[in-house]
Structure 1
């Protein structure tokens, strides 16, 4: 049984912070693989500066080429929008009925709002959560403290954001060190976020 951690995000663009966290999860937890699930449209986010799905998929593919345990996933591209995590999980179970054990990877900031997620009780009943630290305000609901399905992973705190990268790139700042080389090359050639 392959243990797969699902790392959801718009990855607009994917950067070294995303890779560091995903790599930490496969190297220092019991996960065998991490799949970057590229979200076409989040119910909580507006679509203004979001690159097309296939471009973001391509950048994740470029970023994970040399990392066999990290894989891009376009599973949500064909699901009705706006989509909720519970629907993606059900869809994955149908698509991979055996051989895979799925769990969710999320930042501590997302865990603080997890009780607002659609069917969060069902998710927690059936899937493990792998939580990495984030600097954020607010507190985690007491119902999640010490929960047997919630695993806190002592990953490095990454304070790099895709928003910061897009804004600074548009201003002409050098953001090259914040991106995997192949991602920078693709982004530069396509003239994104200018």
Structure 2
């Protein structure tokens, strides 16, 4: 990013004014392809917003995700529109086109730095990320720098059995991965449900409701001319049908 001008030009002024209509200090960033957005995305966002007392969650569709096959991804503007339609009924949810306006490959480090310029009044950003995506974060651009910039909230599907089973999974998988790939100084704080570092940002973790819905399955159903009702908001379904997306 080249400073405030290059960042702010890609953000709709109306969205900025809406975000600033109330004082905000804690902002969640939920990035993804949203190809398409569905109830699974919306449900975890609700749960994280409540659990971490976030003032707002911003959904940020990527322009060109660097780790995915572009051939099955709908046009960025269609994915943005579907995301806007999906979050519109929820006042604590918002969308941003910052990655789409930036064009080219979408890198999280650039997005975070851009959002800091757009929203200098925000005291704390949090980055929402799924379990599987986090366990590949060592492949991301400047991934070490990310942990100097922003706390992560790693979302896990519910683990069968007791809380002890979940804690063991965190220790055996998540903590081990972090210590091997990010910094050996990270340590597990079981009371605070986070993984702490003396200098870097905390990495939080939590279990979220697992809705057995995937964007790839929705696309498959569309290709087979089968119903996608109740997998995503009806308004999003109508947009897909009216614009013949994924066909």
* TM-score normalised by structure 1 residue count: 0.90
| 1:183 matched to 2:229 | no
State the aligned residue count: 192
Q: What is the match of residue 63 of structure 2? A: 40
| 1:82 matched to 2:135 | no
| 1:159 matched to 2:182 | no
Alignment deviations for residues 30-82 of structure 1 (CA, whole Å, 9 cap, x no partner): 32211111001111112112222221111111111110111111110122422
Quick one: distance in 1 between partners of 2:95 and 2:121? Answer: 20
- Seen in structure 2, the aligned counterparts of structure 1 residues 104 and 29 have a Cα distance that, compared at 3 Å, is same
Q: What is the match of residue 245 of structure 2? A: 192
- Seen in structure 2, the aligned counterparts of structure 1 residues 166 and 145 have a Cα distance that, compared at 3 Å, is farther
CA shift, 1:142, in A, is 4.4
Larger CA deviation: 12-21 vs 1-10: 1-10
- Seen in structure 2, the aligned counterparts of structure 1 residues 114 and 46 have a Cα distance that, compared at 3 Å, is same
| 1:52 matched to 2:75 | yes
Q: Which runs of 4+ in 1 moved over 6 A?
A: none
Alignment deviations for residues 117-163 of structure 1 (CA, whole Å, 9 cap, x no partner): 2222221122111111148xx94304266222111122112332111
CA root-mean-square deviation: 1.9
Quick one: distance in 1 between partners of 2:47 and 2:32? Answer: 17
Ranges in structure 2 where 5+ consecutive residues have no aligned partner: 1-23, 159-171, 180-185, 189-194, 197-201
Ranges in structure 1 where 5+ consecutive residues have no aligned partner: none
Alignment deviations for residues 90-113 of structure 1 (CA, whole Å, 9 cap, x no partner): 111122222352221001111211
Alignment check: 8 A CA contact 1:2 1:100 kept: yes
Quick one: distance in 1 between partners of 2:156 and 2:75? Answer: 29
CA shift, 1:189, in A, is 1.5
Quick one: distance in 2 between partners of 1:100 and 1:177? Answer: 37
* TM-score normalised by structure 2 residue count: 0.72
Alignment check: 8 A CA contact 1:109 1:134 kept: no
Q: What is the match of residue 90 of structure 2? A: 67
SS at match of 1:153: strand
| 1:110 matched to 2:130 | no
Quick one: distance in 1 between partners of 2:187 and 2:246? Answer: 40
Alignment check: 8 A CA contact 1:107 1:133 kept: yes
Q: What is the match of residue 121 of structure 1? A: 144
Give the structure, 1 or 2, with the largest relative contact order (CA under 8 Å, sep 6 or more). Answer: 1
